[in-house]
Structure 1
Amino acid sequence: MTVIENAVSKMQKLPTEEQQQVLRFIEFIAFELADRQVNQESENLKEGQQKSDFWKGLQKFRLTIQNEGVGFTNEDFADLRDRSVGREIIL
């Protein structure tokens, strides 16, 4: 039995709440490893080299939002737009 098979077998025996806790722990470890990898890659870049870390940063942000339990709904964005016609122009 592989490590993954063994872990899944044991996890299936746990109640749902504990399964979710294990999953959050696994996501945390993955987040930490990704963060270390991003930091190491940043250190390895030489001066003058440019590298886009946007995707990794976005993934890190999404994982942080998910781990914090932050959720967005349409109500959060309902009144963000300024609906005024703008300033008055005097000619």
Structure 2
Amino acid sequence: MGGRIDTDPDALIAMARELDNATKTIDASMRRVKSQLNASSWNDPVRKQFEQNLEAVSRLVKQIDTISGESSSLLHRKAQQLREYLGR
């Protein structure tokens, strides 16, 4: 790490928190859609296609969750390093 440090470790933690909140919101939305689908009495070929599409979206959400978790961990580690460097 060369040069100036223009980042407050607390800003990195806030960013990680927002990332975690975004992921939770996406997960909750997917659960609501699946719940609505299960509560419906819909049963035709279009529903089958919709279920397949929803499963594809669910796989993407899992990827987002994994990448977001890794990114959040990275931000926390970086914030800790900055705190140590700044003597906080």
- With a CA cutoff of 8 Å and minimum separation of 6, indicate the structure with the bigger relative contact order: 2
Q: Which has the higher helix share?
A: 2
TM-score (norm 1): 0.45
